[in-house]
Structure 1
């Protein structure tokens, strides 16, 4: 058994985990009482030290917390997406209260992301069918992007601050370009039907469900900035190249037994990603992009490289540490646990 650190969140079921972009010793967990159905939320700001994982600060909210994002401009600040439709900005150095409260969403805010390039805006998405772009210095949203149905996940392109992505209940991946005119489409430039069968034959044994299903998560590749991975209720992870939206998926990655809840591309390798699922597992994959191509089948089947099955409930969050040799990851689940472990060990054939 490889090394693993554990922290418990008694009375609170985690929904998201993020390493600090500034320190490898700081991590945060957004959580909710009663699995997020009813009750309050708690943000855990944690420090990793010789004594293991210690609480640095906690912040309680009146409603569930579904996602979080560290500020890209202040090492002590972070955002929380809340069940009452608000996004709250907390500062570890300021006791108790959010330093800002952004509240325009009409239903649960389920996702929040900070712009990694210009660092001066963040995005939130909600069950109310909108994405909102905010400045941390203003209470009113800068823009509202209509999606039209429950939007589970939003993100920024890692290389272009004007490009925002989203996935939602209607089984589409949407790309917005904020430089385009606000016409009837509200900056929508690309809309990819995730479940549409590819326009060419699939390799033998690779036949994912073609019925539309909710897309719960997506992530941009850190090295190939036109590649996005999606995952959701049909258990299949697909990657798309947004330069060629009609081409269908570039990779199909199958193996989870229940819905894929969270995805994260590695910040250390272009073909590696982690997925967390309601099947209580975390899986490490290659999308197949570094392997030899079978030209008869343009879609690459992804390959599972490792499996972590130490959670005993739905796994809801996963994140990579940006620092060090490049393999430490954090996972959280509804079993009231945060686990920190080394995916490099998994790549070397150790089991968790």
Structure 2
């Protein structure tokens, strides 16, 4: 029997009747009355209304910024392993800025520590027992958290000067202190950020004043062989130091590591008819990588067999912005489109590869990532300011859903047309949001 969309019931942004009421109390003020699932791009706010998130939907939610807007960031893998079941958590990351002046750009190397949260039941006991007034408990918990200084997260930041805006940044799997950046200057650069990460690891409880200093630091390698700027770049998870970079001029270059540097093949891989938007290495085959393009296709390449794609699939009717290769089911690859749709393809059946196609998001898909825990789950972000989490193994079961609605009473006030595969929706903007135990990147 397929599961219902019960998990989606937890994502319930709430309305407050007046902005003045919300602003005069806690930042997390919650209106009284039954909650409603908010659908961005579908529902509209009335005069004097604003959205409030439901704290019961999150183990932890916190927003932060590193200065200028960032088009790309990556989680830096550490020694704490993938499964992190006990709070507090610590997170290391890198991000690249899009400053208003080229000279003001930098790589932000950051550490977010003292991430505290709570484990929650899938269905609150109070809801099953018939007590629907869960907001008061949630509000009191949040007030206690705000009063207790020990529960506040700590952000430490190091800024490394970067020539021009950073289109994309990626940390190497095997050596996380090595990062590659794609700049709008048309250069791909590789950086050793170990000194900054080591400094962050030794940082104390308070953020130092030197966080505002932009450090001068030379890259290990600068490649200027691309004829245009680009966004596509990926490190191999199987061959340490192997890299591919793709540009807006349809070309893909292969980087092979040497003892202390890289040899970049000047003869590019060419097969797309428009800009290469994203690249990803196979999780199981060391010589295979995938690409996607503005031409609407996904291509599979084998570095041993020449400079043309081995497979090419027409995946979307518009630009394919991003792809993600499933690490737990390596025959599956997901893609996100400029029209707001995303798809899943099975590479074992090229002629009829489409497994799933969703048109939930209202604007362009900006990132997509399979879960490292469950082969059927993936996260999607969009320019409609949503992050959604999906489980493709789910099917709608009307009997089970009716039983769940009866248990939840008015709290299960969700639209009937939500896809059953949709588990969770987060809406936010202007800052990086870290959602504990929902972040798919290990």
TM beyond 0.5: yes
Is it true that 1:166 corresponds to 2:291 in the alignment?
Answer: yes
Per-residue CA deviation, residues 188-223 of structure 1 (Å, 9 max, x unaligned), is 11110113xxxxxxxxxxxxxxxx211100100111
Contact 1:171–1:193, Cα closer than 8 Å, also in 2: yes
Which structure has the bigger radius of gyration? 2
Alignment CA distance shift 1:344-1:90 (3 Å): closer
Q: Identify which range, 121-130 or 25-34, moves more after superposition.
A: 25-34
SS at match of 2:351: helix
Does structure 1 residue 132 correspond to structure 2 residue 256?
A: no
Matches within 5 A, 1:35-114: 41-50=105-114, 52-93=153-194, 96-114=217-235
Contact 2:389 2:424 in 1 (8 A): yes
Q: Distance in 2 between matches of 1:89 and 1:281?
A: 31
Deviating more after overlay: 53-62 vs 40-49: 53-62
Mark the runs of 5 or more structure 1 residues left unpaired by the alignment. Answer: 196-211, 293-300, 312-334, 346-352
| CA 1:120–1:96: 2 relative to 1, 3 Å | closer
What is the rounded CA distance, in whole Å, between the counterparts of 1:166 and 1:253 in structure 2? Answer: 21
Provide, for residues 121-152 of structure 1, a one-character-per-residue CA deviation record: whole Å limited to 9, x for no partner.
Answer: 11111111111111342253365211331011
Return closer, same or farther for 1:267/1:77 CA change in 2, 3 Å cut-off.
Answer: same
Unaligned residue ranges in structure 2 (runs of 5+): 1-54, 81-90, 115-151, 196-215, 397-418
Task: Say if 2:246 and 2:277, in contact at 8 Å, map to a contact too.
Answer: yes
Question: What is the TM-score when the length of structure 2 is the normalising length?
Answer: 0.61
Q: Which has the higher helix share?
A: 2
Pairing partner for 1:277 from 379, 382, 399: 382
Per residue, is there more strand in 1 or in 2? 1
Matched with 2:74 is 18
Residue pair 2:66, 2:157 contacting (<8 A) in 1 also: no
Pair 1:31 & 2:97 matched: yes
1:116 aligns with 2:237: yes
Q: Which deviations, in whole Å up to 9, do the C-alpha atoms of 1:251-301 show, x marking residues without a partner?
A: 11231011111101111111111111010111111123x659xxxxxxxx7
Q: Which aligned runs of 4 or more in structure 1 are off by greater than 4 angstroms?
A: 37-40
Q: How does the TM-score come out when normalised to structure 1?
A: 0.76
**Distance apart, 1:62 and its partner CA:** 2.3
TM-aligned CA deviation for residue 33 of structure 1: 1.6
Distance 1:286 1:103, change over 3 A: same
Aligned pairs, number: 290
Q: CA RMSD in A?
A: 2.4
Q: Distance in 1 between matches of 2:365 and 2:79?
A: 28
